[in-house]
Amino acid sequence: MIIKTSLFNSTTHDLTIAIDLLRASTTIMVALNNFNKVIPVNNDEKAFKIKEEHPDAILAGEKDLNTIEGYDITNSPEIIQQYTGEVFVINTTNGTKVIENIKNRDENITVLIGAGINARALAEKSLEMADNEIELIMAGRHETFNIEDAIGAGLIVNEIIDVAKEKEINIELDESALAVKLLAEDKQRAKELIGNSWGAKKLSKIGLRCDVEICQQLNTLDAVGIYENGVITKI
């Protein structure tokens, strides 16, 4: 089993894990505790159309850390815990774009969602579902590298290594996967790097440090999100 990472664009035809640690993939996984499905979108028109079809849906919208006008809430793993329902719609600067981008390239790719918050569950499920390759896709910031997504990928890679060893599955890390693995080996240091990242500092300035603290969590959720037919559900 080959383990590799990529930035924004996928290259595999097997299984991917979409990561936007601060905050989309974390928010999505927290939301799946209280909602039956999450629908990621990349434009307001689609979000408001879903709202017309599902009047009770909650819309979370964020553009460059600002709440999008007309949405119920921002993209926040803390705030979404106050809501429950059938449908949660989310539109973000980076995370929802990378999810859609993966499927646009190859609709047959398996797309799992997560971050550090469900790293162990992602490791177990990805090794179970993949045929021969697992690719961790970092959303980044406007399609460029950011430290928190690299750490999120590294936390998941380290869990994949542990699970593979337990289950006696042979894996091979490419150089990109090895790099993020090393970056996240010291879990306390990884947590500090997330907390000191550009995105975390910006969130703290606008009163959302609580979001950062949730995104720093490791293995506090045991569910995995899967993106199929435009909808994310829990597996």
**65 — pLDDT class (breaks 50, 70, 90):** confident
Tokens of 73: 């809430």
CA-nearest of 39, 43, 71 to 231 is: 39
- Residue matched to tokens 């664009």: 9
CA-nearest of 25, 21, 91, 27 to 63 is: 91
Q: Which domains does the chain have, with CATH numbers?
A: 2-234 (3.90.1560.10)
Q: What is the mean pLDDT of residues 17-46?
A: 97
The C-alpha atoms of residue 231 and residue 60 are separated, in whole angstroms, by 15
- The mean pLDDT value of the chain amounts to 97
Q: What is the mean pLDDT of residues 35-49?
A: 97
Handedness of CA 108, 114, 115, 120 (dihedral sign): negative
Which tens digit of pLDDT belongs to each residue from 145-195?
A: 999 999 999 999 999 999 999 999 999 999 999 999 999 999 999 999 999
The DSSP-derived string for the chain is -EEEEEESS---SSEEEEE-TTTHHHHHHHHTTTEEEEEE-SSHHHHHHHHHH-TTPEEEEEETTEEPTT-SB-S-TTGGGG--EEEEEEE-SSHHHHHHHHHHH-TTSEEEE--GGGHHHHHHHHHHH-SSEEEEEE-TBTTB--HHHHHHHHHHHHHHHHHHHHHT---EE-HHHHHHHHHHSSHHHHHHHHHTSHHHHHHHHTT-HHHHHHHT--S-----EEEETTEEEE-
**64 — pLDDT class (breaks 50, 70, 90):** confident
Label the pairing between strands 133-138 and 15-19. parallel
CB–CB of 90/96 below 8 Å?
A: yes
